[in-house]
Amino acid sequence: MSDATQRTDRAGPTASGAAGERVLEVDGLQTDLASGAEIVHAVDGVSFELRRGECFALVGESGCGKSMTAMSLMRLLPAAGEITGGAVRLETQDLLALPEVAMRAVRGRRVAMIFQEPATSLNPVLTVGRQITEVLERHLDMTGQAARRRALELLDAVGVPDAARRLEEYPFQLSGGLRQRVMIAAALAADPEVLIADEATTALDVTIQAQILELLQGLQAARGMAILLITHDLGIVARLADRVAVMYAGEIVEFGTREGVMRAPQHPYTQMLFASLPSASRRGMPLAAIPGQVPSLARVHTLPGCRFEARCNQALARCRDVKPPMIALGQGVDAGRVRCHLRSEGRAAARAPLSAPEIWAEAEAGEASAPTLLRVENLQVHFPIQRGILRRTVGTVRAVDGVDLLLREGRTLALVGESGCGKTTAGKAILRLIEPSGGRVTLAESGAQVDLATLSRAALRGRRGVMQIVFQDPFASLNPRMRVREILEEGMVSLGRGGADAAARAQRVAALLEQVGLPGEALARYPHEFSGGQRQRIAIARALAVEPRLIVCDEPTSALDVSVQAQILNLLKQLQQDLGLSYLFITHNLAVVEYLAHEIAVMYLGRIVERGAVHEVLRRPQHPYTRALLSAVPEVDGVREVIRLGGEPPSAANPPAGCHFHPRCPQVRPDCRAAYPPAIAASPTHTARCVLLAPSPGSARA
C-alpha cells in the first residue's frame, strides 16, 4: 500500500471496545422543552452506555432528538428545556445531580463536545490561540508560555499547518476544515474521557471530511477516548462506529453492533433508511423514500402504539394501538435489541447488500443522440481585489477560469468538486445571475443558438422562463412574507407564463402542487410552516411554474436527511421523464451523482479537470483529484482505499503555476509544475487534464 492511501476497514470493535470498561451510562433520560402551551418530549426514555476506547453512533432523521440527547448529557439545554427524568453517570458520578458550578468543571475537562457548525461555535473576536488556552487555564491551571506551547502541540496534533501563525489568527481567517480542526483541538485540550461529536463533518467537503474522520480515529486510538458520534450519514457510521443506536421520535428503536445493524437491520425504520440511499444499482428505479414526517414530539405521548406506524410499510394491526417493547435479539451485553412487533413474530428481514452489479445501461443509452441544449465555452468569472481608500485593484480572484460544458436535452450534467472550486459561481454565471467576465453560453432555441452572455437585459428577461434555478437552502430562497400561492404565481405574472388570467394561473398552481406532491391546502400557508423537504418541493414548483427547459440545481439535497433526499431525487427524476427537463446538478455528493446524472464534470480551482459519461468517470477515473474525491466518500458496504490529499485547495487569487492540483497531488511529477496540461482523451466521451495520461516514453498511464 502506498503512503498516499489508507485502509478504512476496521477489525471489529476498537481496541476491545466490546470489552472496554463503561465510562458513561445513560439510563431512562427524559428531556422536555416548553413550546408555548405544548410540552415537546425531545428525549423520551433513552438508555445506552459508552465504553472507554469505543465509538458509539446515534443515528436518525432530523427532529428525532439526537442533538437534544447530546445537549442533555452536557446540561447545555436552552432556557425552555428541562431534564425531567433518568440518570447520566460518568463512571460513578451522577451528572444530573451536580450543581452547575461543579458541572462546569466536568464540561471540557472530562466530557467535551464538537458542534456541527464551527463558524458559530468559535468566538469570532478571540484568536485561535486564546480560545484554546482558555480551556487550558480553566481546567489545567496552565498559563503563559506553557499554555501556548500546549496549544501549538494540539494544533499540530489535529493537522493544522503552520500552527504558530494560526494561533494568532481569528476564526474568519480559516477555512471550514481548519475551523473544525481548531474546535477539535479545543475540545481535546484537557484530554477528556468522552468526546461528543454532533454532526461534526456535515458541513465539510468529502476530502476534508475524510481527513477529520481519520483524525478522530487516530486520536481515539492514541488516547483511549470514548466517542459519542451523532450523525445521519450512514457511511460515516460504517467507517467509525463500533456500536449503533437508531433513534426515532425521541426514543431508541434499534441497537446493536455496527456489523449487526449494517448487515441485518431489524426495525423497518432502519431498513427504510438504508433503502433510501442513492446508488448506481438503483438507477432507473425510484428510491424507497420514507413517506410522511417524524411525528411532532409534542404529541408522541398521545400515540398509543408504535411511533413509526403511520410511515411503516410493514405495519401490523396492533402496531397502532400497542406500544412495542424492546426485544433482545440474542444473549450477552452486545446482543442487538429492537423495538418492533414484527421481530416478536420473526418477520423482520435482513437488508440486502447495497453493492450490486453495475447498472449503467440507462446511463449509456442515448449519450450522443440527444440534441445539445446548452453549450458553455471558456466561461470566465473574475472578481477584482480592491484595497485602500481609493479602492485600487491589486489582484484578481479567478473563481471560474475557462470552463467548458455541454448539456443535452432531457439529460443531467453533474458539476462536482470541493467548496470554493467555483461550481455555484459557474451555475449563476450561466444564468447571468452573476455577469461573466468572458466566454460564450449558447442556448438552443428554435433551431438557432443564442449567446446568453451577450444578450441585453431586456432580451435576457424574455428568456428567463426557459432557465430556472433551485438553491441549496429553500428557507433562505423563499420569501417568508409570501404565501405559497403568491410564490408560485409571482414568476407567471412577471414573465407572462402559465395563463393570461387569474383562473388559468390558479389551475396551473393546483397542477404544480400535485406534480411536486404537496396538498392543495399548502397554498394558503407560509414557508416557515413546512418541513425542509416540503420547502424544497415548493422551490422546485416555483421553478417549474414558468415552464423551463433547463434547471440549475445548486446542492438541492445537501441540507436534507437521507429519507427526504430520496423524495426530492425521486421527484426530480420523475419530472425529467415527464417534462423532458435538463438539469445542471451542482453537488459534492457523488452517491447522488451516481444515481441521477448522465454526464459529469469535475471542477478544481475554477477549471474542469475531468469530464465524461458518469459510468466512465466514476468507474474509471483518470485524474488523481477525481480518484481522491471518490476515495473520500464513506461507503456503507465494502472497503475502499482513502487517498490522502495534503493541505487544502489554494487560493483562486493566487493559483499555483502549471497544474493547479500539483501541490496536493500524490502522483505529482516535475512537468506538472511547468504548464497547465491539455485535455487528453481516455475515450471518445471521456477526457482529463493530467500529464499522467500523456503517452510519452517512461510515463505510466494513470
Q: Is the pLDDT of residue 147 over 70?
A: yes
Confidence of residue 131 (pLDDT cuts 50, 70, 90): very high
Measured at the CA of 58, the angle between CA 114 and CA 157, to 5 degrees, comes to 30
pLDDT of residue 86: 96
Q: Is the pLDDT of residue 699 over 80?
A: no
Strand partners, 247: 252
- Cα–Cα dist 200/226, whole Å: 15
Q: Which of 185, 244, 226, 292 shows the shortest CA–CA distance to 22?
A: 226
Average pLDDT on 515-536 reads: 87
At 581, list the grid cell.
Answer: 427537463
pLDDT of residue 640: 67
Q: Is the pLDDT of residue 540 over 50?
A: yes
Dihedral class, residue 369 (left if φ above 0, else alpha if ψ from -120 to 50, else beta): alpha
pLDDT of residue 19: 45
* Residue 36, φ and ψ in degrees, nearest 5: 65, -125
- Cα–Cα dist 415/418, whole Å: 10
Question: What's the number of CA atoms in the CB half-sphere (13 Å) around residue 345?
Answer: 11
Confidence of residue 232 (pLDDT cuts 50, 70, 90): confident
pLDDT of residue 697: 52
Average pLDDT on 415-442 reads: 93
- The residue with greater pLDDT, 427 or 420, is 427
Strand partners, 440: 377
Full DSSP string of 448-480: EEEEGGG--HHHHHTTTTTEEEE-S-HHHHS-T
Residues in the chain: 702
* Residue 88, φ and ψ in degrees, nearest 5: -130, 110
Stated as kind and residue range, the H or E segment containing 392 is strand 392-408
Average pLDDT on 606-611 reads: 96
Question: What's the number of CA atoms in the CB half-sphere (13 Å) around residue 12?
Answer: 6
- Percent of the chain surpassing pLDDT 90: 56
For residues 203-233, b (16+ Cβ closer than 10 Å) or e, as one string? bbbbbbbbbbbbbbbebbeeeebbbbbbbbb
Least confident residue range of 61-65, 87-91, 152-156, 592-596: 61-65
Where do the DSSP E strands lie in 60-107? 81-90, 93-94
- Cα–Cα dist 20/444, whole Å: 65
Cβ atoms within 10 Å, residue 192: 21
Cβ atoms within 10 Å, residue 437: 18
pLDDT of residue 13: 40
Question: What's the number of CA atoms in the CB half-sphere (13 Å) around residue 320?
Answer: 5
Confidence of residue 360 (pLDDT cuts 50, 70, 90): very low
Q: Which of 592, 37, 505 shows the shortest CA–CA distance to 287?
A: 592
Full DSSP string of 311-356: G-TT--GGGTTSPPPEEE-SSSTT--EEE-HHHHTT-PPPPPPS--
The residue whose grid cell reads 487555564 is 137
- Cα–Cα dist 155/131, whole Å: 12
The residue whose grid cell reads 423482520 is 348
* Residue 550, φ and ψ in degrees, nearest 5: -125, 130
Q: Is the pLDDT of residue 185 over 80?
A: yes
* Residue 148, φ and ψ in degrees, nearest 5: -65, -45
- Percent of the chain surpassing pLDDT 70: 91
Contact present, 241 and 228 (Cβ < 8 Å): no
Cβ atoms within 10 Å, residue 696: 9
Residue 103 to residues 96, 226, 431, 565, 583, Cα–Cα distance (Å): 9, 19, 54, 39, 52
At 40, list the grid cell.
Answer: 415537546
Dihedral class, residue 195 (left if φ above 0, else alpha if ψ from -120 to 50, else beta): beta
pLDDT of residue 229: 95
What are the strands of the beta sheet with 22-35, ordered from one edge?
Answer: 38-51, 22-35, 81-90, 93-94
pLDDT of residue 501: 81
Which residues lie closer than 8 Å to 495 by C-beta, 6 or more apart? 461, 464, 465, 546
Q: Which of 212, 230, 354 shows the shortest CA–CA distance to 642?
A: 212
pLDDT of residue 496: 82
Confidence of residue 352 (pLDDT cuts 50, 70, 90): very low
HEC string for 228-239: EEEECCHHHHHH
pLDDT of residue 639: 59
- The residue with greater pLDDT, 10 or 690, is 690
- Cα–Cα dist 265/246, whole Å: 10
Strand partners, 327: 338
Query: Strands 337-339, 5-7: parallel, antiparallel or unpaired by DSSP?
Result: unpaired
Question: What's the number of CA atoms in the CB half-sphere (13 Å) around residue 459?
Answer: 7
Full DSSP string of 599-644: EEEEEETTEEEEEEEHHHHHHS--SHHHHHHHHHS--SSS--EEEP
Contact present, 124 and 171 (Cβ < 8 Å): yes
User: In this structure, what DSSP letter does residue 539 have?
Assistant: H
- Cα–Cα dist 520/35, whole Å: 28
Q: Is the pLDDT of residue 63 over 60?
A: yes
> For the chain, first and last CA: distance in Å?
16
- Cα–Cα dist 244/57, whole Å: 5
Contact present, 337 and 254 (Cβ < 8 Å): yes
Q: pLDDT tens, 69-83?
A: 999 999 999 999 999
Strand, coil or helix: 593 = helix
- Cα–Cα dist 435/604, whole Å: 21
Average pLDDT on 58-75 reads: 92
User: In this structure, what DSSP letter does residue 277 have?
Assistant: -
Q: pLDDT tens, 614-655?
A: 999 999 999 999 999 998 888 787 556 778 787 667 888 889
Least confident residue range of 202-206, 349-353, 671-675: 349-353
At 404, list the grid cell.
Answer: 467548458
Average pLDDT on 297-308 reads: 91
- Cα–Cα dist 595/278, whole Å: 6
Q: pLDDT tens, 313-343?
A: 899 999 999 999 999 988 877 789 999 999 8
Q: Which of 527, 563, 701, 508 shows the shortest CA–CA distance to 622?
A: 701
Confidence of residue 498 (pLDDT cuts 50, 70, 90): low
Contact present, 66 and 60 (Cβ < 8 Å): yes
Write the CATH number of the domain with boundaries 361-466+548-693.
3.40.50.300
> Which residue type sits at 427?
G
Strand, coil or helix: 430 = helix
Contact present, 606 and 652 (Cβ < 8 Å): yes
Q: Is the pLDDT of residue 472 over 90?
A: no
- Cα–Cα dist 547/492, whole Å: 9
